[in-house]
Chains A and B, each alone.
Chain A
Amino acid sequence: MQQKIKEPRFHIVKRADISSKEAWIIRVIAIVAALALCAIITMVCTGDNPISIFATIFKGAFGTQRKTWITLQYVAILLIISLALTPAFKMQFWNIGGEGQVLMGGLAAAACMITLSGKLPNAVIILLMIVTSILTGAIWGVIPALFKALWNTNETLSTLMMNYIATQLVAYFTIVWEVPKGSGKIGIINQNSNIGWLPNIGNKYLLSIIAAVLVTIGMFIYLKYTKHGYEIEVVGESRNTARYVGISVEKVIIRTMLLSGAICGLAGLLLVGGINHTITTTISDGQGFTGVMVSWLAKFNPIAMIFTSLLIIFMDRGASEISTAFELNQSFADILTGIILFFIIGCEFFIRYKIIARKDLGKENA
């Protein structure tokens, strides 16, 4: 009996370091492989030409001037929400309550538009909308932070539960303000007087885009060059280290969640006052969760987030175009988006680890 040494055919080994060039090669391979798989699935399932489907996705996002503006506007909102979540994630505070914070900001804006219309001058109403929605978002963000700081409750659960409370609050006020009675819809608020509508700068899409640019630059500087940003990083790396060097972890958590919630509130303000001019329970459309993915994919780098949010919106806009052009169900485009995201996220594994095949040296005599 010859003793067999069991050696698996493949080893997984953590890479000590990887050059950025190599990392990018892996990413490009992942995207090419994702597109190839998408192409195969498209041909097998639908019989449609995959190249023309990809072309249609592109046309859906950038086909006309209006489409390009709409895409950029959507990117702006998703980017703002992702940026809002970033500082919290960076300090390892799992804020998955972006949805609720956006909704509450939007609800505050809608409340001002509906209840103050005709009672105060338009400029004052808009000013109040800005203040109240940012404040409401901040409050909604800071409640779980206080619980975490004071009693060390699990923030993943509390932020998530706060979403449901926010959704139900919006549902309640929808019934209070519905027009016509019983319809469960508020409809466009002040459609003819335009009271409380945020002003158009240039065209109706630009305001959100400018806001997103400002928030991106601000967040980049805040995280990279300020003392606060540094504190967030230290708390994220190790709470004990932070305590040891004299950083008040509780204070950082509360302060960061105030900021996180406030920026989500801003997104709510833009959605209600600048874009939809109404409030519904689905107005943030899951972006509080999508933002988590955008932020992680970009490794919490605000500049990289521009590209990750663009990728997601690009695929999403393309998806609806596919369903129009090919009369395929929208779910099909979601499948393609899922494949692409899976590969992009999956390739991070190959950036961190490498796979080594067993060296057989030609001694196989089984």
Chain B
Amino acid sequence: MRKIKKVLSAVLAATMVMALCACGGTAETETAAKATDTEAAPAAASDVKVGFIFLHDENSTYDLNFINGATQACEAAGVEYMLKTNIPEGQECYEAACELADAGCDIVFADSFGHEDYMIEAAKEYPNVQFCHATGTKAHTEGLSNYHNAFATIFEGRYLAGIAAGMKLNEMIANGEITADQTKIGYVGAYTYAEVISGYTSFFLGARSVCPTATMEVTFTGSWYDETAEKEGANKLIEDGCVLLSQHADSMGAPTACEKAGVPDISYNGSTASACPNTFIVSSRIDWAPYFAYIIDAVANGKEIATDWVGTLETGSVVLTDLGSAAAEGTAEAIEEAEKAMNAGTLHVFDTTTFTVNGETLTSYMADVDTDPEYTADTEVITDGYFAESGSEFRSAPYFDLQIDGISLLDTAY
């Protein structure tokens, strides 16, 4: 018994010492926090507090992109913020949203599509808190004044990235690496969901606007984040003879597969140049900082937040990263030119003269804009000779779900 007591007291003493050291530590961190507070004070105009909910953490390129936007916007506005990572798309999201509201957040934001229903539940419970959700589809039909959707015209960014792809294909033809009939692009998608379809179609149209012989093959993984499946999908496409790849899924699976095989790649959500120095061409991404700045400003000044907010090239929401070493010569100029035309309104990504569906040009299309379990096609979206994607009068999230000629889907199980 005495021995045990000895050991116990030794352990206790050790913990006490550590606790003492630790206390010294606290004092320091607290002062540090205060110092940053006073530094931030001149910029801070409001006492708005923002809570963020993320599906994964910074290991996912998708979530990292949101986390960067959030910290950047909040620090620029000098407002307090809380980040909750690894929140699954279930009741946990509702609980997290309520906890953030309980903690005094005036705005609660969630970044994943599957969070939407749970955000709506929380919005019903806290009418004085603004709930904002990226990629969702239900704000315009839900009729809640404190629930909002946001997205960006990322299809424009994809189109521009597609131009970079087309330029690369042309370069490869000119170098004699491939012939014009081998210009097959591969694309690793997550689900056969409109957001993905809109993404790969715009990317393809961008590529074909530069390299007319381009075709594309798409494979789906059935997950937004599955490194193994994305890598396998990419390898399958490469074996299939695809000479350039792009993807819409959130892991490094496809980019690293490309690097290994030496196939040029256009990534998404941010630059993969450091991991893939030899094959990275460019990446399009949505910069969420402008949206966050907008909602913080709206709440601080008592203004309404738009039910469906659509970020564009002009708001700085749709951006391309710096070009990688694999990019073809003249890419920057070609992209700049197209961007100018888009901003001027003379270039529409889904111009109906540039694509056909089952061999026919589209003159009318009813899209499923109002989400319902029967997928009812409810809204005419062809206006002035183009498919009006992410129209602010309809909804912010994409609804382009047509299968155009030139793109073949390898598997549609998901």
> Whole-angstrom distance from the CB of A84 to the nearest CB of chain B?
21
Tell whether A51 is near chain B: CB-to-CB under 8 Å: yes
Query: How far, in whole Å, are A131 and B23 apart by their CA atoms in the complex?
Result: 56
A191 touches which of B19, B83, B90, B117 (Cβ 8 Å): B117
Q: Using Cβ atoms and an 8 Å threshold, which residues of chain B touch A25?
A: 4, 8
Known: A175-B413, A179-B373, A280-B89. A327 touches B83 (CB 8 A): yes
Q: Using Cβ atoms and an 8 Å threshold, which residues of chain A touch B86?
A: 320, 323, 330
Q: Using Cβ atoms and an 8 Å threshold, which residues of chain A touch B223?
A: 184
Query: How far, in whole Å, are A177 and B15 apart by their CA atoms in the complex?
Result: 55
Tell whether A47 is near chain B: CB-to-CB under 8 Å: yes
Tell whether A275 is near chain B: CB-to-CB under 8 Å: yes
Q: Using Cβ atoms and an 8 Å threshold, which residues of chain A touch B82?
A: 324
> Whole-angstrom distance from the CB of A231 to the nearest CB of chain B?
39
Q: Which of B115-143 contact A (CB under 8 A)?
A: 116-118, 120-121, 137
A324 engages B11 (CB within 8 Å): no
Stretch with Cβ within 8 A of A (4 or more), from B186-194, B261-269, B380-388: B186-194
B14 engages A275 (CB within 8 Å): no
Tell whether B102 is near chain A: CB-to-CB under 8 Å: yes
> Whole-angstrom distance from the CB of A179 to the nearest CB of chain B?
5
**Nearest A-chain residue to B112, judged by Cβ:** A185
Q: Which of A32-74 contact B (CB under 8 A)?
A: 32-33, 35-36, 39-40, 43, 47-52, 64, 66-67, 70
Query: How far, in whole Å, are A154 and B21 apart by their CA atoms in the complex?
Result: 54
> Whole-angstrom distance from the CB of A69 to the nearest CB of chain B?
9
Known: A183-B113, A330-B57. A320 touches B191 (CB 8 A): no
* Contact code string A239-280 (vs B, CB < 8 Å = 1, else 0): 000000000000000000000000000000000000111101
Tell whether B26 is near chain A: CB-to-CB under 8 Å: yes
> Whole-angstrom distance from the CB of A31 to the nearest CB of chain B?
11
Stretch with Cβ within 8 A of A (4 or more), from B91-99, B157-165, B277-285: B91-99
B89 touches which of A33, A64, A180, A185 (Cβ 8 Å): A185
B11 engages A36 (CB within 8 Å): yes
Query: How far, in whole Å, are A191 and B173 apart by their CA atoms in the complex?
Result: 54
> Whole-angstrom distance from the CB of B388 to the nearest CB of chain A?
18
B197 touches which of A50, A182, A188, A280 (Cβ 8 Å): A182
Overall SS of chain B's interface: helix
A36 touches which of B15, B25, B117 (Cβ 8 Å): B15
With an 8 Å Cβ cutoff, the count of chain B residues facing the other chain is 55
Tell whether B372 is near chain A: CB-to-CB under 8 Å: yes
A285 engages B88 (CB within 8 Å): yes
Tell whether A211 is near chain B: CB-to-CB under 8 Å: no
A180 engages B371 (CB within 8 Å): yes
> Whole-angstrom distance from the CB of B318 to the nearest CB of chain A?
22
B15 touches which of A39, A180, A181, A282 (Cβ 8 Å): A39
Tell whether B29 is near chain A: CB-to-CB under 8 Å: yes
B25 engages A180 (CB within 8 Å): no
Tell whether A153 is near chain B: CB-to-CB under 8 Å: no
A29 engages B8 (CB within 8 Å): yes
Tell whether A283 is near chain B: CB-to-CB under 8 Å: yes
Query: How far, in whole Å, are A315 and B117 apart by their CA atoms in the complex?
Result: 28
Q: Using Cβ atoms and an 8 Å threshold, which residues of chain B touch A156?
A: none
* Contact code string B58-94 (vs A, CB < 8 Å = 1, else 0): 1000000000000000000000001111101111000
Q: Using Cβ atoms and an 8 Å threshold, which residues of chain B touch A276?
A: 90-91
Most buried by B among A40, A48, A66, A185: A185
Tell whether A236 is near chain B: CB-to-CB under 8 Å: no
Tell whether B22 is near chain A: CB-to-CB under 8 Å: yes
A70 engages B95 (CB within 8 Å): yes
* Contact code string A346-365 (vs B, CB < 8 Å = 1, else 0): 00000000000000000000
Query: How far, in whole Å, are A62 and B339 apart by their CA atoms in the complex?
Result: 52
Q: Using Cβ atoms and an 8 Å threshold, which residues of chain A touch B118?
A: 188
Q: Using Cβ atoms and an 8 Å threshold, which residues of chain B touch A40?
A: 18
Query: How far, in whole Å, are A330 and B59 apart by their CA atoms in the complex?
Result: 11
Q: Which of A275-321 contact B (CB under 8 A)?
A: 275-278, 280, 282-283, 285, 320
> Whole-angstrom distance from the CB of B348 to the nearest CB of chain A?
24
> Whole-angstrom distance from the CB of A52 to the nearest CB of chain B?
6
Query: How far, in whole Å, are A285 and B87 apart by their CA atoms in the complex?
Result: 12
Q: Which of A17-34 contact B (CB under 8 A)?
A: 25, 29, 32-33
Query: How far, in whole Å, are A327 and B71 apart by their CA atoms in the complex?
Result: 12
Q: Using Cβ atoms and an 8 Å threshold, which residues of chain B touch A152?
A: none
B375 engages A180 (CB within 8 Å): yes
A180 touches which of B88, B98, B137 (Cβ 8 Å): B137
A36 engages B196 (CB within 8 Å): no
Query: How far, in whole Å, are A185 and B88 apart by their CA atoms in the complex?
Result: 12
Most buried by B among A182, A280, A324, A329: A182
Q: Using Cβ atoms and an 8 Å threshold, which residues of chain A touch B25?
A: 43, 47-49
Q: Using Cβ atoms and an 8 Å threshold, which residues of chain B touch A184?
A: 190-191, 193, 222-223, 414
Most buried by A among B114, B117, B372: B117
> Whole-angstrom distance from the CB of B26 to the nearest CB of chain A?
5
Query: How far, in whole Å, are A36 and B114 apart by their CA atoms in the complex?
Result: 40
Besides A182-B414, A191-B120, 7 new A-B residue pairs in contact (Cβ under 8 A), listed by A number:
A32-B15, A39-B18, A50-B22, A177-B373, A181-B193, A182-B197, A280-B89
Q: List 27 A-B contacts (CB under 8 A).
A: A29-B11, A35-B15, A36-B18, A43-B21, A47-B25, A49-B29, A51-B23, A171-B222, A179-B372, A179-B373, A181-B192, A181-B194, A182-B192, A183-B191, A184-B190, A184-B191, A184-B222, A187-B116, A188-B121, A280-B89, A283-B90, A320-B86, A323-B85, A323-B86, A324-B82, A330-B57, A330-B85
B residues at A contact (CB < 8 Å):
4, 7-8, 11-12, 14-15, 18-19, 21-23, 25-26, 29, 57-58, 82-86, 88-91, 95, 98-99, 102, 113-114, 116-118, 120-121, 137, 190-194, 196-197, 222-223, 368, 371-373, 375, 401, 413-414
